[in-house]
Amino acid sequence: MLTGCMLAALLPSLPAANAAVTSYKFDFGGGAVEAGYTGVRAEDGYNASKGHGFNTPANMRNVSAAGKGVGSDAVQFTTFGIKSSNTFNVDLPNGLYKVKVMLGNTGRSSVAAEGVYQVINMTGNNVTDEFEIPIWDGQLNLLVTEGKVGGAFTLSSLEISQLSTNPVTRPTIYVGGDSTVSNYYPLATSIQAGWGQMLQQYIKPSDYNVRNMASAGQIARGFRNDGQLEAILQYIKPGDYFILQLGINDTNPKNNETEAEFKEIMRNMVQLVKAKGATVILSTPQGRATDFNSAGVHNAENRWYRQATIALAAEEGVRLIDLNVISSAYFTSIGPAATLALYMDGDTLHPNHAGALELARLLTEEMKKQGLYR
């Protein structure tokens, strides 16, 4: 006859009945639920007993999606915006979490949580990305919102896992910029890429988490006013870096931003981040692939409000990476044909995957030279 102690030894150990759940996998939409996931339909409202659900299910729809498994269906957020109360809520113990999202059929959709952007402009059906987020108030509040107005903002699956019981972000490098810096999807295989997307290839994840908040078409005024800087300011802390590279779109007359205005908006962002105790690094954008003279020397020093960025770094006492000049020296060394091969076909401004890797490498090497990274 088995005693109670003998029986306990034979049974698998189970969590205590009141143990806090620290990982979830959700499959959204009206279709079949994938094995290992918790199904969530658009009409499933939040209640405390189950610990998850939509805050306002009346503003959600079940929709189909083009993928398989968890990617075969989704929910659509019909009311959105980073401050919207139309969120999917999950009760979680306070701590640091990794959140992985898969969207449905969508283009240029952003993920927001805790009232700020987390991922910018995810593009492509069943596109995936992940981010780390501290939970301070016992609940994750997440939604998918516009990167481009007029799209369908959908969510196919969500995976949440606790990294630490301490609700503090790991040392992080935050990146701001435009289309030459931003993420393109799928992250591992995209033809076009920004150097911010590639930075983690040269930065050890054990040293720094990289959070790229750059977006295509961005100018200084937009980055400051439209939510991207707000997200950084919510989390950035002493020991973190903020690398900011703008100027390309700011010089376009349609954006109505003079060099003097550009400089003062950039100054405001620099000062706001410095006040958080983080290290600011200003970077100048690389030139066009065709900026070669007749002697085969690449030079783009008079582009993109570069002088304003250099002056601002000196005036505010922050670090400068003159990627414009550094990349020109590299392009000169490899020549016009090899340089053109680092840009998108028929496009002399935007780097391809290989070009973004080279720019990230050059930037990281300069960080090492300046003692910013070992």
Cα(151)–Cα(142) distance, integer angstroms: 18
Nearest 5°: phi and psi at 113? -155, 145
User: Quick check: 116 and 134 in contact, CB under 8 A?
Assistant: no
Average pLDDT, the chain: 94
List, in order of start, the domains of the chain with CATH numbers: 23-164 (2.60.120.430), 172-369 (3.40.50.1110)
* pLDDT beyond 90 at 13: no
The residue type found at 100 is K
Q: 243, 176 in Cβ contact below 8 A?
A: yes
Q: What is the pLDDT of residue 101?
A: 98
In angstroms, what CA-CA distances link 259 with 77, 288, 303, 314? 39, 20, 11, 16
State mean pLDDT over 153-181.
Answer: 98
Residue with the two structure tokens 């973004």 = 356
pLDDT of residue 150: 76
Distance CA 75, CA 72 (A): 11
pLDDT at 360 over 90: yes
Q: What's residue 20's pLDDT?
A: 63
What is the pLDDT averaged over residues 159-168? 97
Residue 64 pLDDT greater than 70, yes or no:
yes
Tens-digit pLDDT profile for residues 37-62:
999 999 999 999 999 999 999 999 99
Query: Is 216's pLDDT higher than 60?
Result: yes
Mean pLDDT of the region 9-13: 36
Reported as a single tens digit per residue, the pLDDT across 133-162 is: 999 999 999 999 987 777 899 999 999 999
Give DSSP secondary structure letters for 187-255: TTT-SB--HHHHGGGTS-TTT-EEEE---TT--HHHHHHSSHHHHHHHH--TT-EEEE---TGGGSGGG
State both tokens at 20: 């806090």
pLDDT at 168 over 80: yes
Element holding 77 (H helix, E strand): strand 73-77
pLDDT at 15: 36
Residue in the structure block whose two tokens are 């196919």: 156
- pLDDT grade for 18, boundaries at 50, 70 and 90: very low
Look up residue 19 and give its two tokens. 């143990």
Residue with tokens 């993928």: 67
Instruction: Report pLDDT for 107.
Output: 87
Tell me what pLDDT residue 104 has. Answer: 97
Quick one: average pLDDT of 84-103?
98
Q: Is the pLDDT of residue 217 over 60?
A: yes
Active site residues: 179, 347, 350
Query: Does position 248 have pLDDT exceeding 90, yes or no?
Result: yes
Residue 261 in this model has a pLDDT that exceeds 70: yes
Measured from the Cβ of residue 75, the count of other Cβ atoms closer than 10 Å reads 28
Residues of the chain with pLDDT > 90: what percent? Answer: 91
Higher pLDDT, 282 or 13: 282
